[in-house]
Chains A and B, each alone.
Chain A
Amino acid sequence: MNAMPPKRRGAPLAAKLVANMLLLAVAASALVFVSSRAEAMKIQEVKSPGGVTAWLVEEHGIPLIAMRFAFESGNAQDPDGKEGVANFIVSMMDEGAGELTSKQFQERMEAIAMRMSFDDSRDAVYGSFETLSENRDAAIDLLALAIGKPRFDADAVERIRGQLLASLAYAARDPDRVASEQWSALAFAGHPYGRPANGTPASVHKIGRDDLKDFWSNTFAKDNLRVVVVGDIDAETLKPLLDKVFGGLPAKAKLKPIAQVTPAATERLKVVEMAVPQSVARFGLPALPRKDKDFIPAFVLNTIVGGGVMSSRLWEEVREKRGLAYSVSTTMQPFKHTSVFAGGVATKNEEIAQSLDLIRDELKRIAADGPTEQELANAKSYLTGSFALRFDSNAKIANQLLWFWQEELGPDYVDTRNAEIDAVTMEQVKRVAKRLFEREEPIITIVGRPKGLTQTPRRS
């Protein structure tokens, strides 16, 4: 009857892993493709008369248009003491614009079956928009209004503040959320990435209408904007619509500089006590930026260790052989100003120590010995073979291309990416395993009542 199916396998956790800190980490695992779709898919760069550039993939097979866009900015730009502004603003974008109050705006959206939502990460504010072809122009008008003339009415601000505070109260008791937030706080202490992405009750209380307006006018601009459109529309039709939505924005965003940072902590293990039967752990280490020559080998390595969830070493050791967890996985994500190898596992309090010991051992072991030839071949065939699965819907194509663009990859990356994976050698993977895992133990946060954690490192 009425239940979402309990999913057997842990893949979703890879996404939830480091929810706040690594919102985009999920996208990294999406970095993965097959060439066949790429060959069939033509990416056009469309420049509007008003100076807005978009990537466009035409797909006239179904009467839908999907748009994804990103403003480089994100909650790293939240003013000090007012953490949570970016998260606040993305919750306000359908709360009235132009002459339309919140309720009028939302009823209008429903009347034309338009889908619009916004989200924030550390480094960007995202927009997602979908419309049926038949309602295209009306939907574009409404999107333009939301982006160009948000109202931030006082009553809507207070209502959303109430929801944000309730959400924070809930998150404070959610072991996954707490473990992720604590990991960021520990590994990025003193840096904007170390702050709670959605703020704290105290900071959210302090956020006023002016803070929202300032953030909006600083962030919603043209020079930090990337737009991807996929669906039932051609370039000439799209151009004026791009101007209608984005053309009126300021030419330049006003962003404060964010320092480069490397995850670091002198204390490698932090426990937050919570009365739950199962301990939830997050672990992580510095990784490599996209421009590093070892980035792709590191990406393949992550697949072997914990990213190719159901065939990874950690899955095998922790779940398949010992039944210690429902889910264990890792991800590798370059942020704009850092890069992280991060993972998560959840095991009953009595045995979490064993799960973490196994994970540490596997990282050491692969640093010392590298993977087997078979593991390397399997990871490469998974990564290249599954690439096409990322491109089987308009929405997925749009998400994927926007991500590549944010990573400063060109449209041609779609065509060259599988060759880059195929070219990875055993020597490269061994080298990068040493670079990532040899020097230091992972930084770990645990939420729960873990038993039997040792005070000092075990052997090794």
Chain B
Amino acid sequence: MSKRVRLGISFSLGLMGLMLGPAIAQDKEVVIGLQCDRTGATQIVGTTLCPAYHDYVALVNSKGGIEGYKIKVIEIDNEYKVPPAMESHERFKMEGAIIDGVYGTPQIAALNKKLEEDKILGTSPGFGTAAAADGKKYPYTFPIAASYWSQGAAAVKFAKDKLGGNLKGKKIAYLYYDNPAGKEPIAVLEDLAATEGFELRTFAVPAPGVEMAAQVLDITGRFKPDYVITHLFGRSPSVSIKELKGKGYPLSKVVALVWGAAEADINAAGGFGAAEGYSCMQFAGVGHEYPVITEINAMYKAQGKEPPKEQANSVIYNRGVFQAAVHLEAVRNAIKAKGGAKPTGEDVKKGMEQIKDFTLDGLVPPLNITPEDHEGGGWVQIWTIKGGKFEKATEWFQAYRDVVRKHITAIN
């Protein structure tokens, strides 16, 4: 090998090291890694969720941080691809991160094992497998929000209340995106159909989910259900609203799970005026009427700026705040438990498992995360569109915990 090449290799290696040497974490600083999808398949979520996360962290830092520690967030865009998720995780680890805010269902699946081996806590709010709620099997994976099983159960309970408290002899249609996440709730729904005595029929929408005229016609023309549960992603929720309305099905008998529930979905379907009666499930609060949002806006105002434009999509924005708040609460618990010493990934895991009655004035559900239950109880809220805006239809509630629990134990 020639001298030139040797020189070149050592130079480029040196340059790399210079740019990204071992990060010297400061004493009074806690590092959190955040994976985002700002440019990939689900950028409609990432471009709102991640700024919200940064806003909440900036708010906490502006008030002096947590127990004297400043929070440093490293964000990496994983483009909703799996290999960059592994690369991001290793980068976070090198920078001394104690939490990995994973984003994406295949991504959390690929990282479960690594999180456990590296003892770095990972969260997957609103995505990932429902079985990950089992803290014994996945000690370092925390769904923190209601899993698809809990959501499916909650949707059935909501339909039951709406249909007069009895589902015997009723018909429920389940319209879902034909991928693993879409199919996941079916097991729980079938179980409930047997115990509650309703007839369940499922209607799959193939990717990319923008064509469902046949399925909706089948629902409205043939099956004629008493209630419709939809579980769709990306652009497809807006299509489902349009199709159901266009075929004459009353939207007041439709409930969507959490990824068909954002302002952006409603606007794409023709605006709030056109979606009157449509109900959506939420794992974080909706709207701007929370003290924490007011504080974030006050922080922006103090800097002479307008409130962030991402807040227009409050459903996703609040989920970002929710995620950041739960992360930081776990860090706070960990620092307190160590008497002010710098926490490790293991400490934060214990801190996360102590989270109880942390509600941020209603934006966060009354989570009760325990070493066994990393889902925190599967709390959801349902918001219905009334008079051109979201209106709270229920308080935080859980449904059929025994059934969900049974499925979690069965699969693990």
Interaction A to B: no
Which residues of A does B touch, CB under 8 Å? none
* Residues on B facing A (Cβ under 8 Å): none
